[in-house]
Each structure stands twice: as C-alpha cells, then as structure tokens.
Amino acid sequence: MSEQDWVLHVDLDQFIAAVEVARRPELRGRPVVVGGTGDPTQRAVVATASYEAREFGVHSGMPLRLAKRKCPDAVFLPSDAPAYEDVSAHVMDVLRELPVVVEVLGWDEAFLGARTDDPEALADTVRRAVKAETGLESSVGVGDNKLRAKLATGFAKPAGVYRLTRDNWVEVMAGRPVTALWGIGSRTADKLASLDIRTVEELVRADPQVLAARFGPAMGPHFRQLALGAGDTQVTATPWVAKSRSRETTFQHDLTDREEILARVRLLAQRVVEDVRAEGRPAVRVVVKIRFVPFFTCTRGVALEEPTTEAEPIEAAAVAALARFDDTRAVRLLGVRAEFIGE
C-alpha cells in the first residue's frame, strides 16, 4: 500500500475519571463520578463518569443528586481542573514526539495529521505511547478527513482503533440517526424530524432548498454535507488556546430575588475579570448563563464596545446581558463568560 495522508483523532477514554483513578488506584473497577465539590447532596452536575458508573445510566451533565440515585455505591469526587490540565499537557507532549502533526482540541482529544501506508499501525503506536508514558487508555479514529476520524473514534471506544472513510461511510452511517453526526444535536434533530428526516441517508437525500429554507442558506447545506461525510483534511499544529474564561455557581437554594441575582452576577463577573487578566488577552463579549427551575438553561450575550481587560466594562456588560432575560422563574445556576477575539 502506498503512503497517503490520514487524519487520526485521539480521544482519552473517560479522561477525568481515569486521572482520578490513577491518583487513587484503590478505586479501579469501582463506579466513579466526578463533579462539583464531590458532594452528591449539593447542586452540581457530573463532569465525567467512569465506565462502571455509566453502566448504571450516569452520564456527563446529569445532576449529581440523580447520579447518586442511579448509582448509590458510586464514589463521588470533586473536579480538579489544574490536575487535568497537567495530565493533558503531558499527553500532548507525548503525541508531539511521534511523526505526526498535533492539533489539540481540548483536555482529552487531538487530531493528528500523518502520511503513512498503515494508519492502523500508527494508531496502535499512538495508543501504546500514551499508555506507556501516562498510564491512560485512549481510542483512535482513523479517517480521510476530520469529520470521519472524529466519528470513527466513537466506534473505537473503549481502547481501540477504527477506520471510517469514504469507502465504508454509507455502509456504516446511512441507517444511523442524524444525531450520530458530529455537529447535530437533539434540537436540530427534532427540527429535521419535522421534515421527516431522521437518518443520515434521509438527510443526504433531502432537498437542499428545503433545508436552506428551514435552517438558512449556510446551515441547511452544511447539515447535508455532514451527512455526506465531507470535512476538513488539514491538521494544523497550533497550540490549543482557550476561547473564553467563565465562572458559574450552582445554588443550594433557588434564587428568586432579582437584587440577589444581580449581585451574584456582578460577583461572578469580577471573578471572570481576574481570569481574563491572568490570561493576558482582552475580552470582546460577555455572556450570562442562567439555569432556571427545574432545569431549563439559556444564555444572553453582549458585545463590548472595544476589547478590554478592565473590570468596569466587563461587569457592565454582564449586567446588561442579565437584563435581557425576561423569565421570572427561580434560578438554580448562574454563570458569566468572557469571550476572546476569535470566539
């Protein structure tokens, strides 16, 4: 087989839980749930769950209290972002030692660009290197573009390798629901279902004009391209840079007083300012996130007049964003996010 360009997607299996188990080997094989302060009686959500916990129906984004009900014997641990960042940096350094181009996507995943005649052998080399240097298991998707490599990883899990290319795209993906595509969530799927489009094959066969009318002239055709498996083939060796800095708080008692909500948003904005200054990059937009009772989340954003790291305009923008909410239901979570140029 002659050499050709390939895209590999590396995903660290149950990353956060795996880091915690590595620090506490006695937890190996037990259901582990990480999130908030690690107290399932408090309001917070699951950051990640070990495979053992997932067997009980626990998943990321689930309230810790619900996770406790589903898996009473789980070990609940607090999130430790600095530890995860350190381990992630180590993994990416390991990848950079291999004959590949590394494009970091986040803590636990990266695209690799490589020219080889045996991408599966390279994927195995990647997995072995990560395991040997960090003790972490990983899954690797092999594709002829980023979209297919990313989706292939889902078939590779746990701790495996899978190839998804133009050659087997139809066989593997045609009958799957549209949510199997990277970039189509449940809300978009519901809108597609209203057009009697539920599978990848049905999306391929959809009338582009109908899609454009429903989703707009850019997104409509884009969704169909996803169903065709089209994607970017360029892997760029640029370091991952945070697009934003945010702070949020889940309250143990619902907030109903508007003045208290305003005060909390101001406080979160002040903490975000500290993060923005530590990042050393000016913010261009501020977003407020609210989770209303029982569990409805929405956001509102305000663009800053000019990029800044100053507290006053960032806090004022957060207050302005809060004013754009007209829902009067009780609040269980507040968040403030400052976005940087390029967001």
Compute the 3-state secondary structure of the chain and give helix, strand, coil in percent, each to the nearest 5.
Answer: 40, 25, 35
Note the pLDDT of residue 26: 95
Task: Give the integer Cα–Cα distance in Å for 148 and 240.
Answer: 21
Quick one: tokens of 184? 């189509």
Torsional class of 282: left (φ above 0), alpha (ψ -120 to 50), beta (otherwise): beta
Tens digits of residue pLDDT in 280-295: 899 999 999 998 887 7
Report the catalytic residues. 109
Task: Give the integer Cα–Cα distance in Å for 304 and 79.
Answer: 31
Task: Give the integer Cα–Cα distance in Å for 233 and 5.
Answer: 9
**Residue 43 confidence class, pLDDT cut points 50, 70, 90:** confident
Provide the pairing of β-strand 331-340 with 283-292.
antiparallel
Helix (H) or strand (E) holding 94: helix 81-96
Tens digits of residue pLDDT in 125-168: 999 999 999 999 999 999 999 999 999 999 999 999 999 999 99
Tens digits of residue pLDDT in 103-135: 998 889 999 999 999 999 999 999 999 999 999
**Residue 343 confidence class, pLDDT cut points 50, 70, 90:** very low
Domain architecture of the chain: domains with CATH: 174-228 (1.10.150.20), 244-340 (3.30.1490.100)
Tens digits of residue pLDDT in 211-236: 999 999 988 999 999 999 999 999 99
Give the DSSP letter string of 226-282.
HHHT-------------SEEEEEEEEEEEE--HHHHHHHHHHHHHHHHHHHHHHT--
Amino acid at 151: L
State the burial class of residue 11 (Cβ atoms within 10 Å of its Cβ: 0-12, 13-18, 19+): buried
Task: Give the integer Cα–Cα distance in Å for 283 and 49.
Answer: 33
Q: Is the pTM of this model over 0.85?
A: no
